[in-house]
Amino acid sequence: MMNSPICSMLDIEFPLLAFSHCRDVVAAVSKAGGMGVFGAVNLSPERLREELDWIDAHADGKPYGVDLIVPNKFAGKGEKLDTGRLIDSIPQEHKDFASGILAEHDIATDELDRTRGISGNFARNLRAEGAASSLEVAFEYPIKLIANALGVPPQVMLDLGKQHGVPVAALVGAKEHAVAQVNAGVDILVVAGGEAGGHCGDVSTMVLIPEVARALKEVGADTPILAAGGITTGEQMAAAIAMGAAGAWCGSVWLTTAEAETNPVVKEKMLAASSRDTVRSRSRTGKPSRQLRSPWTDAWEGEDAPEPLPMPLQSMVSEPALRQIDKLSQSGHQGAKDLATYWVGQGVGLMNQPLSSGQVVQQFKEEFAEAFERLSASLGD
Amino acid sequence: MMNSPICSMLDIEFPLLAFSHCRDVVAAVSKAGGMGVFGAVNLSPERLREELDWIDAHADGKPYGVDLIVPNKFAGKGEKLDTGRLIDSIPQEHKDFASGILAEHDIATDELDRTRGISGNFARNLRAEGAASSLEVAFEYPIKLIANALGVPPQVMLDLGKQHGVPVAALVGAKEHAVAQVNAGVDILVVAGGEAGGHCGDVSTMVLIPEVARALKEVGADTPILAAGGITTGEQMAAAIAMGAAGAWCGSVWLTTAEAETNPVVKEKMLAASSRDTVRSRSRTGKPSRQLRSPWTDAWEGEDAPEPLPMPLQSMVSEPALRQIDKLSQSGHQGAKDLATYWVGQGVGLMNQPLSSGQVVQQFKEEFAEAFERLSASLGD
Of A204, A238, A376, the CB nearest to B193: A204
Closest residue by Cα to residue B188 from B302, B19, B62, B45: B19
Q: How far is CA A172 from CA A73, B238, B276, in A?
A: 16, 24, 13
User: What is the domain-level CATH number for residue A226?
Assistant: 3.20.20.70
pLDDT at A154 exceeding the cut of 90: no
Q: Output the pLDDT for position B342.
A: 98
Q: Output the pLDDT for position A129.
A: 64
pLDDT at B79 exceeding the cut of 70: no
User: Is B278 found in the same domain as B213?
Assistant: no
3-state secondary structure of A112: coil
Please tell me the least confidently modeled range out of A310-324, B129-143, B225-239, B344-358.
B129-143
Mean pLDDT, rounded, for A253-280:
98
Cα separation of A254 and A234, whole Å?
14
B177 within 8 A of B96, measured Cβ to Cβ: no
Model confidence at B310, pLDDT cuts 50, 70, 90, reads very high
To which H or E segment does residue A20 belong?
strand A16-20
User: Is B282 found in the same domain as B232?
Assistant: no
Reduced 3-state DSSP string for chain B: CCCCHHHHHHCCCCCEEEEECCHHHHHHHHHCCCEEEEECCCCCHHHHHHHHHHHHHHCCCCCEEEEECCCCCCCCCCCCCCHHHHHHCCCHHHHHHHHHHHHHCCCCCCCCCHHHCCCHHHHHHCCHHHHHHHHHHHCCCCCCEEEECCCCCCHHHHHHHHHHCCCEEEEECCHHHHHHHHHHCCCEEEEECCCCCEECCCCCHHHHHHHHHHHHHHCCCCCCEEEECCCCCHHHHHHHHHCCCCEEEECHHHCCCCCCCCCHHHHHHHHHCCHHHEEEECCCCCCCEEEECCHHHHHHHCCCCCCCCCCCHHHHHHHHHHHHHHHHHHCCCHHHHHHCCCECCHHHHHCCCCCCHHHHHHHHHHHHHHHHHHHHHHCCC
Closest residue by Cα to residue A86 from A117, A42, A59: A117
Could you report the per-residue pLDDT of B206-240, keeping only the tens digit for each? Answer: 999 999 999 999 999 999 999 999 999 999 999 99
Cα separation of A367 and A232, whole Å?
11
Determine whether the interchain pair A239/B244 forms a contact, defined as Cβ–Cβ distance below 8 Å. no
Determine whether the interchain pair A206/B193 forms a contact, defined as Cβ–Cβ distance below 8 Å. yes
Bigger pLDDT: B140 vs B126: B140
User: Is B185 found in the same domain as B131?
Assistant: yes
Cα separation of A380 and B9, whole Å?
15
Mean pLDDT, rounded, for B363-372:
98
Size of interface A-B (CB pairs under 8 A): 172
Q: Which positions in chain B touch A1 (Cβ < 8 Å)?
A: 380
List CB contacts of A215: < 8 A, sequence separation 6 or more.
Answer: A175, A178, A179
Evaluate whether residue B120 is within a structural domain.
no
State the pairing for strand pair B16-20/A289-292.
unpaired
Determine whether the interchain pair B1/A380 forms a contact, defined as Cβ–Cβ distance below 8 Å. yes
Q: Which positions in chain B touch A243 (Cβ < 8 Å)?
A: 235-236, 238-239, 371
User: Is B140 found in the same domain as B61?
Assistant: yes
Cα separation of B296 and B144, whole Å?
39
Amino acid at A158: L
List CB contacts of A121: < 8 A, sequence separation 6 or more.
Answer: A42, A43, A44, A47, A130
Evaluate whether residue B285 is within a structural domain.
yes
Bigger pLDDT: A69 vs B370: B370
B236 within 8 A of A375, measured Cβ to Cβ: no
How many angstroms away from the CA of A186 is the closest CA of chain B? 23
How many residues comprise chain A?
Answer: 381
State the pairing for strand pair B168-172/B64-68.
unpaired
Determine whether the interchain pair A211/B176 forms a contact, defined as Cβ–Cβ distance below 8 Å. no
Please tell me the least confidently modeled range out of A2-16, A125-139, A141-155, B208-222.
A125-139
Amino acid at A346: Q
Could you report the per-residue pLDDT of B85-117, keeping only the tens digit for each? Answer: 888 899 999 999 999 999 999 999 876 766 655
Q: Output the pLDDT for position B73.
A: 43
Of B3, B210, B275, the CB nearest to A203: B275
Q: Output the pLDDT for position A76.
A: 45
User: Is B272 found in the same domain as B172?
Assistant: no
Q: How far is CA A347 from CA A251, A256, B134, B204, B207, in A?
A: 10, 12, 40, 9, 6
Q: C-alpha B41: how far from its chain's center? A: 11
How many angstroms away from the CA of B332 is the closest CA of chain A? 31
Evaluate whether residue B334 is within a structural domain.
yes
pLDDT at A128 exceeding the cut of 70: no
Torsion-angle region of A124 (φ positive above 0: left; ψ -120 to 50: alpha; else: beta)? alpha
List CB contacts of B96: < 8 A, sequence separation 6 or more.
Answer: none
Determine whether the interchain pair A350/B244 forms a contact, defined as Cβ–Cβ distance below 8 Å. no
Could you report the per-residue pLDDT of B115-132, keeping only the tens digit for each? Answer: 655 655 666 666 656 677
pLDDT at A141 exceeding the cut of 70: yes
Evaluate whether residue A41 is within a structural domain.
yes
Q: Which positions in chain B touch A210 (Cβ < 8 Å)?
A: 233, 235-236, 350
HSE (side-chain half, CA atoms, 13 Å) at A220: 0
Evaluate whether residue A98 is within a structural domain.
no
How many angstroms away from the CA of A166 is the closest CA of chain B? 23
Evaluate whether residue A308 is within a structural domain.
no
pLDDT at A98 exceeding the cut of 90: yes
Cα separation of B77 and B257, whole Å?
36
Q: Which positions in chain A touch B4 (Cβ < 8 Å)?
A: 378
State the pairing for strand pair B35-39/B64-68.
parallel
User: Is B276 found in the same domain as B140?
Assistant: no
pLDDT at A117 exceeding the cut of 60: no
User: Is B243 found in the same domain as B271?
Assistant: no
Q: Output the pLDDT for position A86.
A: 86
B287 within 8 A of B311, measured Cβ to Cβ: yes
Domain containing residue A146: 5-81+119-254+354-378
Q: Output the pLDDT for position B71.
A: 55
pLDDT at A73 exceeding the cut of 60: no
List CB contacts of A80: < 8 A, sequence separation 6 or more.
Answer: none
Closest residue by Cα to residue A254 from A324, A340, A354: A354
How many angstroms away from the CA of A340 is the closest CA of chain B? 22
pLDDT at B339 exceeding the cut of 80: yes
User: Is B157 found in the same domain as B195?
Assistant: yes
Q: Output the pLDDT for position B118.
A: 60
How many angstroms away from the CA of A297 is the closest CA of chain B? 16
Evaluate whether residue B362 is within a structural domain.
yes
User: Is B305 found in the same domain as B173?
Assistant: no
Determine whether the interchain pair A193/B176 forms a contact, defined as Cβ–Cβ distance below 8 Å. no
Cα separation of B151 and B153, whole Å?
6
B313 within 8 A of B218, measured Cβ to Cβ: no
State the Cα torsion B31-B32-B33-B38 to the nearest 10°: -60
Q: Which positions in chain B touch A379 (Cβ < 8 Å)?
A: 2-3, 372
Q: Output the pLDDT for position A75.
A: 40
Could you report the per-residue pLDDT of B58-77, keeping only the tens digit for each? Answer: 999 999 999 997 654 444 44
Q: Which positions in chain A touch B378 (Cβ < 8 Å)?
A: 2-4, 241, 246
Mean pLDDT, rounded, for B182-203:
97
Q: End-to-end alpha-carbon separation of chain B, Å?
A: 29
Q: Which positions in chain B touch A194 (Cβ < 8 Å)?
A: 204
Q: Output the pLDDT for position B107.
A: 96
A229 within 8 A of A208, measured Cβ to Cβ: yes
- Preferred mutation among B243, B274, B352, B374 to probe A, highest tally of A CBs within 10 A: B243
Average pLDDT score, chain A? 92
Could you report the per-residue pLDDT of A267-319, keeping only the tens digit for each? Answer: 999 999 999 999 999 999 999 999 999 999 999 999 999 999 998 899 999 99
Closest residue by Cα to residue A294 from A108, A102, A113: A102
Closest residue by Cα to residue A361 from A2, A55, A5, A68: A2
Q: Output the pLDDT for position A119.
A: 59
Mean pLDDT, rounded, for A223-249:
98
Which residues are A19's β-sheet partners?
Answer: A37
Q: How far is CA B220 from CA A42, A55, B85, B240, in A?
A: 46, 43, 48, 20
A7 within 8 A of A13, measured Cβ to Cβ: yes
pLDDT at A22 exceeding the cut of 70: yes
DSSP state of A269: H
How many angstroms away from the CA of B299 is the closest CA of chain A? 19
Contacts 24+ apart (CB under 8 A), B358-363: B358/B28, B358/B29, B358/B31, B358/B32, B359/B257, B360/B29, B360/B253, B360/B254, B360/B257, B361/B14, B361/B16, B361/B29, B361/B32, B361/B33, B361/B34, B362/B32, B363/B233, B363/B234
Cα separation of B102 and B108, whole Å?
7
User: Is B346 found in the same domain as B360?
Assistant: no
State the pairing for strand pair A278-281/A289-292.
antiparallel
Please tell me the least confidently modeled range out of A334-338, B154-158, B300-304.
B154-158
pLDDT at B31 exceeding the cut of 70: yes
Closest residue by Cα to residue B143 from B48, B231, B42: B48
| Number of domains making up chain A | 1
Model confidence at A156, pLDDT cuts 50, 70, 90, reads confident
How many angstroms away from the CA of A273 is the closest CA of chain B? 12
Model confidence at B269, pLDDT cuts 50, 70, 90, reads very high
Determine whether the interchain pair B204/A378 forms a contact, defined as Cβ–Cβ distance below 8 Å. no
Evaluate whether residue A104 is within a structural domain.
no
